[in-house]
Structure 1
Amino acid sequence: MPKKFATENPKVVAARDRKATAKKDEVDRKQKAADDAYWKDDDKLANRKLQRKDDDEKKRLEAIKRKEENRKLAEEEMSSLGAKKVQASPAPKITRAAIDKRKEDEERIMKELDEQRKLDAQKIEVVTEIQENLNKIDIESDSARNVEEALKILGDPKATEDDKHPEKRMRAAYLAFEEKRLPELKIKHPTYRLSQLKQVLKKEWQKSPENPLNARILALSK
């Protein structure tokens, strides 16, 4: 025969039902709170998106407005420039006589430039020849004949008449140049012997503006 179950206590059943109902209510309450929070956050995000979209649309419309204003300003400026060009007086016509005159001026200028180039070339040849001849003269010599020869080469015979002792003046200028440059050359060329330094010094003297003979060369080259 089947086994009989004892009847449950009604109070126990009622207490269990109340507990189950309370638990279900708590679960429903938490779920509702979570749903409310979710939809609340979603609304905030949606509102931010809408606000950003509105801002972007405003910026786009402002950019279009600025572009249109700039276009109108450019059209007005171009129209104003066009009106000024129309109002400006027409360029004068160039006559045949003016063309011939300009051609003559150009030919005259080219001829003058060609003559000047020839004169400059002649001066260069003269100065080069003079420099070569001067290089053969012993600058350190006390001989007046050497200095007089140099002045003759330079085409300045009056210099020897005005100066009774040109060799002394030349010698003094060279010694002053040597006193100034020799210590510098010793520093620049520490391994050179005195004779080598003297050779370098003499080459510099031949081109130095402190050399009285070079003043005459510069005068001839002008």
Structure 2
Amino acid sequence: MGENTKSAVSRARKTEAKAEERAREEQAKEDAYWRDEDKHVQRKTQRKNDQEQKRQQEMERKQAKQQAYEEELNTLTAGKQKQQQTTKVTQAQIEKERQIEEMRRKEAERERLLEQKKIVVQDESVTLEENVNRMTIEGQSARTVEEAISVLKQTTEQQQQQQDRHPEKRVRAAYAAFEERRLAELKQEKPTLRLSQLKQLVKREWMKSAENPLNEQIIGIVQQP
């Protein structure tokens, strides 16, 4: 009877020991599982943090790029406005200098024409010869004022005939030079206009310009006595 009791106690202890061993093994497996799960969660968290950091860096890079673009655009706009102001001032100076040069050219042309038509009076009264107060006009001689006027008129008419032998060529050449110069100036003054519009403006100016040979003839006719 006592032997059976010892055997039962021994079996019970073995069974309990096995149960405890299985419990420890299960606990170890569970602990290992949760350790692996924690590592997985940590990796996911790390990946998420890395992605968030990359997104933040990309956003900052785009913002810096946009800011640099806006600063460059502002700099270019300010420079363009300054250049436009400088161009306006320069264009006004060019126009003023052109007008002054045109006045000088006309004055020189007037002096040249006067020099061509200059009357040289030779007083030969000292020699007591018949040709008193002989006047020489471009190689032709005149003894009286009436003859001098006649010779001068003939000379002027000959010059006009030579100039007007091919008036259409003279007009075309003058207009071509006028158009070339004014188109270059108007392109700077009115950059938004098309070429056809600029040419229309040039034609309007040409109709009133003193450089137009037709206008010169009209002025000459009006000023004749």
Q: Shorter-chain TM-score: what band?
A: 0.3 to 0.5
TM-score by length of 2: 0.39
- Between 1 and 2, higher relative CO (CA 8 Å, sep ≥ 6) is seen in 1
Which is strand-richer, 1 or 2?
2
TM-score by length of 1: 0.39
